[in-house]
Amino acid sequence: MKQFLVKSLWFLLPVLLFFTAVEIYIRNSENAFITKANYFQKNKEQIEVLVLGSSHNQNGVNPKFFRNKTANLSYGSQDIQIDSALFFSNVKQMKNLEKVVFELDYHRLDIENEPTFYRFPWYYLYYGIEVQPVKFVNKISLYSSNVDFFNNIILDQFSSNYKPQVINEFGFVEANYSNDFLDLNYDETKIEATAKERLKSRHKEVSDENFKHNVSRIESMIAYCKTNNIELYFFSSPLYKTYIENKIPKKDQKVKNYIQQLIANHKIHYYNFENTSRFELKDFSNDDHLNAKGAEKYTKLIDSIIYQ
Amino acid sequence: MLFNSINFAIFLPIVFFLYWFVANKNYKHQNILLLVASYFFYACWDYRFMFLLIFSTLLDYFTGLKMFDAKTSIGKKFWFWLSIGVNLGFLGFFKYYNFFAESFAEALANFGLHVDVWMLNVILPVGISFYTFHGLSYVIDIYYNKIKPERNFIDYAVFVSFFPLLVAGPIERATHLLPQIQRPRKFDYTTAIDGLRQILWGLFKKIVIADNCAEYANLIFNDSAHQSGSNLVLGALFFTFQIYCDFSGYSDIALGTARLFGVELLRNFAFPYFSRDIAEFWRRWHISLSTWFRDYLYIPLGGSKGGIWMKVRNTFIIFLVSGFWHGANWTFIAWGFLNALYFLPLLLANKNRNNIGIVAEGRMLPNVREIFSIGITFLLTVFAWIFFRANNMTHALSYIKGIFTKSLLSMPTVLPYSIFALLVFFITIEWIGREHQYALQRFGMKWPKFLRLSFYYLLIILIFAFMGKEQEFIYFQF
């Protein structure tokens, strides 16, 4: 037995070292999620504006352009249950919080991440929130939350044509070297011709149950903000026309009706920039995401609205 | 808890440590530990179905004792049929209710009668087909006086639920596994190292080969209407390797894990794709199920003792039942039927036991005749897997129709060269290792130690490189 244990451990030692090295590497390599989380944890008490939402706000709102201290906690595929968990788990410690900017886009009300969503462990590790039960192993290892994802990132980083993203201190990606529209040379004809194929399964989820849950989460946030004198602003992000043309009309109408109802019942601040001439093709990185240039415009616009 | 998950990589060393260092004074303590670990392992899937596993275990344990102690043959028969009825009843309810209800409604609809059948939202309890067959073999063996019932409940419960085989086999026999549970196990260095090597090979098969092939098989099968004939052939080939590496990979991990605890399980696969005819294929594919059907269905039906028609009838019955065992879908029945058809000429010509030994034994390469017969058998198998993988009969038939079009001769558009390279690597090792229990068992044993260890690390690197998709094992659904 002793021989077996000693030999097995010697054999497994390089594997364990490899695992540990990978874990240390990914925890220390620069990425938007961790940078943003670290900025937030460090400055939580001074934050005056909190931005919540999905990738639309993640790519569209650069805290650098707000006049006051802002944290943008929006991430790709972040749903309203995570927004709500981030808000309620931190709001009491955010003593200077005055305003919340909330992304109320067409796709958000009908979605709710599956319990197996690979980023739940990340939120646990960096924000201490357990929206869905996180496996023990994922609590101790970031790598184990999505081995495939991290393998691809590591392999990419070691490839010869790798260009690192430029991430600012707020965790906002200011330079990204690949996106759909850039790949099509911002050729409007090509972008329009390929839109149907590109958007055939984008944001097509329709779920009354998720809708109901998300409505209740939003209403809890509204109620909390009202009682605690926090101003809550709802925005619909700028979208390129191809995305708007490929929306499901019935779903779109359902969301619009709900927003009307919100305005009527709660007198909320709501601003719709979905279809505005302020943004041109070159402000977008794809059909529904702004690029850094577009983000600068959009952020300044939000800033001027909330401080008007 | 999947064998290819990090959770299992934590669970296994903990149980191993407790087994050999804490509970090692008395094998009965080890059995209690194995039972607790097995129930925990099962509860990780779905704790709600624990009651079913425990109920099934209790049922067979008590009916086994009652049968043995029965004073009259009527009493013995009563307990026997009670156990068979309840076991098959549970299996039928969870696995086949919706299929029968739907088929019944469709049959009535053919006569113009439209009925609303009650469809149930039934979740299939993982491993039910496997542990039910464990229990059935135990009860049948007692009924035919082949074994005596086990009086120690813990020992019997470990036999049914030993975690390496609990959810996808091999389907063990009381005569083989129970004696190992009833006596102290001694740690053997060579066996344990061999077990680890078998686990490594199983993980490689599952994570590197099966999961990668699955990606392309799914891509092609899910969009078969728009694929060329040549792509469809590739899709069937990918599935052929997927199902083999998925299931035999699972079996390797199960056997290797059991060896770490000093337990030998039944071999489940013996390089089936190197078979020279279908009869040989079925002696090498899912061996524990094939022999189960042979012993508990084919032989009781009369086996090969009667005339030729009796043989043909019995052969068709076991293939159809075997197909149905895999799932409540006509595609599985068609798959079983097709295999019975393949088997028929061999049976009629009395050539079903022609290829008993290992192909090209003692030689590096097969001869032309062997290559030809392996090739034909392989193609027949690939063809049959189309039914197994298809969503329904219409899908299977349109898939086959899609193959036999002009586009069969076109260049496939799905060409993952890295997967092809991995398949060549895999088949080569399987071929070299075909005379052993599993391909890696003696592979590289004559190499310098440094080289052999480097080869194992290469496998580990490949496993890590492809890890993460954590696809479930196909046979968990059966």
pLDDT tens column, A178-225: 788 998 999 999 999 999 989 988 999 999 999 999 999 999 999 999
Mean pLDDT for chain B?
A: 90
Task: Name the token pair of A268.
Answer: 């909320």
Q: What ranges in chain A are assigned the alpha helix state H?
A: 2-28, 32-43, 55-60, 80-90, 120-127, 136-140, 147-157, 180-183, 188-198, 208-227, 241-245, 249-266, 292-306
For residue B477, pLDDT beyond 80: no
Mean pLDDT, rounded, for B382-391? 95
* High-pLDDT (> 90) share of chain B, %: 69
Instruction: Categorize the per-residue pLDDT at A122 as very low, low, confident or very high, splitting at 50, 70 and 90.
Output: very high
In order, the DSSP letters of A5-62 are HHHHHHHHHHHHHHHHHHHHHHHHS--HHHHHHHHHHHHGGG--EEEE-SHHHHHH--
For residue B276, pLDDT beyond 60: yes
- The C-alpha atoms of residue B210 and residue B269 are separated, in whole angstroms, by 15
- The C-alpha atoms of residue B236 and residue B457 are separated, in whole angstroms, by 31
Radius of gyration in angstroms for the set of CA atoms belonging to chain A, rounded to a whole number: 21
Instruction: Categorize the per-residue pLDDT at B96 as very low, low, confident or very high, splitting at 50, 70 and 90.
Output: confident
* High-pLDDT (> 70) share of chain B, %: 95
From residue A275, how far is each of A105, A237, A240, A288 by CA, in Å? 12, 9, 8, 11
Choose among B214, B332, B202, B335: nearest CA to B278.
Answer: B335
- pLDDT of B373: 95
8 Å CB contact between A96 and A47: yes
For residue B391, pLDDT beyond 70: yes
Contacts 24+ apart (CB under 8 A), B430-433: B430/B271, B430/B273, B430/B274, B431/B274
Identify residue A100 by its one-letter amino acid code: V
| Unique residue bearing structure tokens 């869905």 | A132
8 Å CB contact between A10 and A59: no
State the catalytic residues of B: 326
Contacts of B193 in chain A (CB under 8 A): 4, 7
Q: What are the φ and ψ backbone dihedral angles of A72, each rounded to 5 degrees?
A: -105, 105
- Residue B443, classed as helix, strand or coil, is coil
ipTM field: 0.73
Task: Name the residue among A1, A135, A151 with its Cβ closest to that of B465.
Answer: A151
Choose among A84, A82, A118, A72: nearest CA to A290.
Answer: A72
- pLDDT of A143: 87
Q: Report the chain B residue with the minimal C-alpha distance to residue A118.
A: B468
Contacts of A135 in chain B (CB under 8 A): 7
Mean pLDDT, rounded, for B107-115? 72
- pLDDT of B167: 82
- pLDDT of B123: 65
- Beta-carbon count within 10 A of A208 CB: 9
pTM, 2 dp: 0.77
Choose among A159, A216, A187: nearest CA to A281.
Answer: A187
- CB spacing of B196 vs A3 below 8 angstroms: no
Choose among B464, B13, B6: nearest CA to A138.
Answer: B6
- pLDDT of B49: 86
Mean pLDDT, rounded, for A106-130? 93
Tell which wins on pLDDT, B414 or B110.
Answer: B414
8 Å CB contact between B235 and B221: yes
Tell which wins on pLDDT, B5 or B225.
Answer: B225
Q: Report the chain A residue with the minimal C-alpha distance to residue B466.
A: A148
For residue B425, pLDDT beyond 90: yes
CA angle at B307 for the pair B303 and B312, rounded to the nearest 5°? 60
Nearest chain B CA: its distance from A7 CA (Å): 9
Contacts of A148 in chain B (CB under 8 A): 467-469
Residues in chain B: 478
- pLDDT of B114: 67
- Beta-carbon count within 10 A of A103 CB: 24
Tell which wins on pLDDT, A237 or B354.
Answer: A237
Instruction: Categorize the per-residue pLDDT at B415 as very low, low, confident or very high, splitting at 50, 70 and 90.
Output: confident
Identify residue A85 by its one-letter amino acid code: A
Choose among B402, B413, B415: nearest CA to B229.
Answer: B402
- CB spacing of A148 vs B467 below 8 angstroms: yes
Q: Report the chain A residue with the minimal C-alpha distance to residue B9.
A: A137
pLDDT tens column, B137-189: 999 999 999 999 999 999 999 999 999 998 887 999 999 999 999 999 999 99
pLDDT tens column, A257-279: 999 999 999 989 999 999 899 99
Nearest chain A CA: its distance from B342 CA (Å): 41
For residue B233, pLDDT beyond 90: yes
Choose among A251, A273, A275: nearest CA to A109.
Answer: A251
- The C-alpha atoms of residue A274 and residue A82 are separated, in whole angstroms, by 23
Task: Name the residue among B7, B196, B460 with its Cβ closest to that of A8.
Answer: B196
* High-pLDDT (> 90) share of chain A, %: 74
Nearest chain B CA: its distance from A277 CA (Å): 40
- pLDDT of B473: 58
- pLDDT of B68: 93
Q: Give me the residues of A, 134-153, that contact B with CB < 8 A.
A: 135-137, 141, 144, 146-151
Task: Name the residue among B453, B456, B468 with its Cβ closest to that of A147.
Answer: B468
B22 Cβ under 8 Å from any chain A Cβ: no
For residue B282, pLDDT beyond 70: yes
Identify residue B331 by its one-letter amino acid code: T
For residue B427, pLDDT beyond 80: yes
- pLDDT of A307: 93
8 Å CB contact between B297 and B318: yes
Task: Name the token pair of A95.
Answer: 């003593």
- Of the listed ranges A37-51, A143-157, A289-303, the least confidently predicted one is A143-157
For residue B416, pLDDT beyond 90: no
- pLDDT of B121: 59
In order, the DSSP letters of B25-86 are T-HHHHHHHHHHHHHHHHHHHHGGGHHHHHHHHHHHHHHHHHHHH-SSHHHHHHHHHHHHHH
Choose among A127, A205, A132: nearest CA to A171.
Answer: A127
- The C-alpha atoms of residue A86 and residue B112 are separated, in whole angstroms, by 58
Nearest chain B CA: its distance from A8 CA (Å): 8
For residue B100, pLDDT beyond 80: no
Task: Name the token pair of A175.
Answer: 């330079």
pLDDT tens column, B455-470: 999 999 888 877 755 5
- The C-alpha atoms of residue B358 and residue B270 are separated, in whole angstroms, by 9
Instruction: Categorize the per-residue pLDDT at B310 as very low, low, confident or very high, splitting at 50, 70 and 90.
Output: confident
B55 Cβ under 8 Å from any chain A Cβ: no
Task: Name the residue among B20, B460, B468 with its Cβ closest to that of A151.
Answer: B468
